Amino acid sequence: MTTLGVLGVPSSAAAHWPGQERAPAALRAAGLVELLRQAGLDLADHGDRPVRRWAAAGPSTPNNLDAVVEGLRDTRDAVATILAAGQTPFVVGGECTLTVAVVSAFAAAGQDVGLMYVDGGQDLMTPADHPHEPIADGMGVAHLLDLPGTAPALSGFGPRRPLLTADQICFFGYADDEEDVHGRVPSWRFPATSVAPDPAASAALALAALTSVTARFVVHLDIDVVNFLDLPAADVPQYRGLTLDQVMSAVTVMVRHPGFAGLVLTEFNPDHGEPDGSTARRLAEAVAAAFTAPR
């Protein structure tokens, strides 16, 4: 791995409600950067971008669309700086749409990457199918793929359209119901029920599938892939998912793979954790351990 370029993006602009904009500061306070450095990682800290807090900004669809796009532009430019320095981006969010900005930055730099989508869902909702829940947070992959019914300002965000094709994405660890209701997304899929018995082996299989199409990949890690009763951290809880240990066993395999190109950590809402910061500390320790696990 090259130098890890850490970037905080404190945004809840695309979320269901406020809270995620405090995640980068909470994880910094919990010692995330120090834990990575103490483990001997070569790390460059690029600081945090401006705070962007959720707002009810109808009637745009998705909600608060102008602020979402503005935040993605800012994130893309910051990630472009990391890539230009030859570093591996580690983006600490913030909400799920940030992955659109990260993939766009790679594409603009002429670097093709796939996407390992470690998430409690698949984020394939579209504004057309969900007009009464116009929240971009659950629509990120739909816009990466430029599915019918998406918002042009998001699906056209990047140097090409679509930014990714279905075979460049692997959905891993999801426990929500199948979201590809129209059968448009023939991606690799590893649901939580198949991952749970042996997360590391499942990760190896998923990587073999994804890297048969694209040699390098970004890992999107939405903390809602973890059962909320095991780690009360996700912005939108789910109770059928994997344990934190299971998730990080798989993520360790992913970040140690030679094709690993970056990580986007999303959906941590500090308001849902313990007020003494112990939930944030546990998450920070788990992420740092994944990066420093022995080969």
Spell out the domain ranges in the chain. Answer: 4-292
Sign, CA dihedral 176-217-138-272, equals positive
Average pLDDT over residues 103-117: 97
Nearest to 71 by CA among 144, 11, 143: 11
Q: What is the pLDDT of residue 293?
A: 56
Q: What is the pLDDT of residue 177?
A: 82
With a cut of 70, say whether residue 234 has pLDDT above it.
yes
Q: How far apart, in whole angstroms, are the C-alpha atoms of residue 126 and residue 143? A: 8
Q: How far apart, in whole angstroms, are the C-alpha atoms of residue 158 and residue 20? A: 24
Q: What is the pLDDT of residues 114-163, one digit of tens each?
A: 999 999 999 999 999 888 889 999 999 999 999 999 999 999 999 999 99
DSSP 34-63: HHHHHTT--EEEEEEPPPB-----TTSSST
Structure tokens of 5?
Answer: 């370029």
Pairing assessment for the beta strands 169-172 and 188-190 based on DSSP bridges: parallel
Structure tokens of 91?
Answer: 């983006």
Pairing assessment for the beta strands 88-93 and 43-48 based on DSSP bridges: unpaired
Percent of the chain with pLDDT over 70: 98
Q: What is the pLDDT of residue 295?
A: 45
Torsions phi, psi for 218 (to 5 deg) = -105, 140
Residue 82: strand, helix, or coil: helix
Q: What is the pLDDT of residue 132?
A: 84
Contact assessment for residue 267 and residue 236, using Cβ atoms and an 8 Å cutoff: yes
DSSP code at position 140 = H
With a cut of 80, say whether residue 195 has pLDDT above it.
yes
Q: What is the pLDDT of residue 61?
A: 84
Average pLDDT over residues 209-215: 96
Contact assessment for residue 238 and residue 227, using Cβ atoms and an 8 Å cutoff: yes
Percent of the chain with pLDDT over 90: 90
Q: What is the pLDDT of residues 180-191, one digit of tens each?
A: 989 999 999 999
**Where would I find the H helices in the chain?**
23-29, 32-38, 65-84, 98-108, 140-144, 152-155, 192-195, 199-210, 244-255, 278-292
With a cut of 50, say whether residue 41 has pLDDT above it.
yes
Q: What is the pLDDT of residue 4?
A: 96
Q: What is the pLDDT of residue 130?
A: 86
C-alpha to C-alpha distances, 291 to 15, 21, 37, 93, 179, nearest whole angstrom: 28, 24, 11, 18, 31
Query: Any idea which architecture 4-292 has in CATH?
Result: 3-Layer(aba) Sandwich (3.40)
